[in-house]
Structure 1
Amino acid sequence: MSNENYHHENLKADLIRNGLKLLDEEGYENFSLRKVAKACSVSHTAPYRHFDSKDDLILAIAIEAHLKFNQRLEEAVNKHPKDNKSQLKEMGYAYVKFFVENPEYLRLFFLSDFANNLKKMNHETLLNGEQPFNTFYQAIERCQAEIQSGEGESVDPNAMALSCWGLVHGMAILIAKKDFSYDGDYLELVRKVLWGGTFLDL
């Protein structure tokens, strides 16, 4: 079996995996299908079997990242099927853990020169119910409804969403970029903040 035939069996997956690494290292302007092909040890024309352009490949990278991220959030929800507050806490922990373990996704989604382009892409996979923000916001709405029905208080779901997201996003960036110096287990510290602090005390 030739080297290229071997790679072709999983070429699309290889292009996405190596493309993410290359995009993270070189940025959008220096990213090219030719460079990704070289990283995959295939001819420079091989990527065009699956992708029309570098933007097409980057979109595929973003879609895969969104699906993986959303899966982590749904797993967090499923750990506490009858406890809405615990769902949000577990999702917050999963959020930080995902981006600390995959800082290249954090940079792609929020910190890269391509991040703004991703927000403008009207791709159905990025807009439908599998989008991570939808999973998060649905949990916010469930928690908000429970608080209002139980205590009669008026809770703005957008304020709750901003508070929850802002906290975990800030922790993810500080830890992933190593801006917060700590000798212990970062993720255990995150769990302590989410379960032992004032999180969700609205």
Structure 2
Amino acid sequence: MAQENYHHDNLKSELIQEGLKLLDKEGYEGFSLRKVAKACSASHAAPYRHFKNKDELILAIGKEIMHKFGEALQQAVDQYPDNPRYQLKEMGCAYIKFFVENPEYLRLMFLSDLSEKFRDSLEKHDQCQEVADKNKEDSFTILSETVKRYKAEIVNDADSAMDQDALILYSWGLVHGMAILIARKEFSYPGDPLELARKIIWKNVFLE
């Protein structure tokens, strides 16, 4: 049997990555620091140097997902620094692409009993919840600030009749629904569904 590596330089990151896989596969009840340590070829005690229990590791997994999500949205916005309408469209494409390419993130954050258990684990720790809320707010702020810029520039436009919250709900609901349908393969399409989603967002009904 190969000797376990007790001194991973990047053990914390490895625990988060392997923990995500395990959480997606086995759910909250089947998740444990011991199992994650085994997946990392580390000692059973090694995860406790970074996380005091499995809920803290789950929180770290959530923060990692939200950080990557926020980065993807911000990169989309940055492509069009002077055009809020295009920012919102590109951000919609990025939203769908992110969850289609990472369906385990979608399942963990939004779908099935796993997402409920995930949120419950965060709520057990008030201090940790404050940090988690900040990460969620970062992603939501990118969306809401882009909508605000878009609203400020439209005049005599059909969207100008919508208040900001309604426009956020409309934009978010459209891209979130497409992300779920495509990621779960519930929409049958012979071509590339991501390209079809992009066509819908850029050429058809979205913010025209």
Distance 2:67 2:135 in 1: 11
Task: Report deviation, 1:21.
Answer: 0.2
Deviations 1:8-58 (A, max 9, x none): 211001100000000000001111101101111111111000001100000
In the superposition, the TM-score normalised over structure 2's length comes to 0.88
- Unpaired runs of 5+ residues, structure 1, are none
1:31 matched residue in structure 2: 31
Aligned partner of 1:142 among 120, 145, 149: 149
In the superposition, the TM-score normalised over structure 1's length comes to 0.91
2:156 matched residue in structure 1: 151
Task: Determine if contact 1:129/1:135 at 8 Å carries over to the other structure.
Answer: no
Task: Determine if contact 2:59/2:122 at 8 Å carries over to the other structure.
Answer: no
Which residue identity is paired with 1:181?
S
Distance 2:90 2:133 in 1: 23
Distance 1:52 1:36 in 2: 14
Task: Determine if contact 1:77/1:88 at 8 Å carries over to the other structure.
Answer: yes
**What RMSD in Å do the two structures reach over aligned CA positions?**
1.9
Going from structure 1 to structure 2, the CA distance change for 1:129 and 1:16 (only over 3 Å counts) comes to: closer
Deviations 1:80-110 (A, max 9, x none): 1011011011000000000001011101110
1:169 equivalent in alignment to 2:176: yes
Going from structure 1 to structure 2, the CA distance change for 1:29 and 1:5 (only over 3 Å counts) comes to: closer
Task: Determine if contact 1:33/1:54 at 8 Å carries over to the other structure.
Answer: yes
Aligned partner of 1:116 among 101, 115, 119: 119
1:58 matched residue in structure 2: 58
2:5 matched residue in structure 1: 4
Give the number of equivalent residue pairs.
197
Task: Report deviation, 1:4.
Answer: 1.4
Task: Determine if contact 1:96/1:168 at 8 Å carries over to the other structure.
Answer: yes
Task: Report deviation, 1:200.
Answer: 1.6
1:196 equivalent in alignment to 2:203: yes
Identity of aligned residues (%): 54
Deviations 1:116-141 (A, max 9, x none): 32774633353268621111111011
Going from structure 1 to structure 2, the CA distance change for 1:129 and 1:13 (only over 3 Å counts) comes to: closer
- Unpaired runs of 5+ residues, structure 2, are none
1:22 matched residue in structure 2: 22
Bigger shift: residues 110-119 or 66-75: 110-119
Task: Determine if contact 1:108/1:114 at 8 Å carries over to the other structure.
Answer: no
Aligned residue for 1:182, secondary structure, equals coil
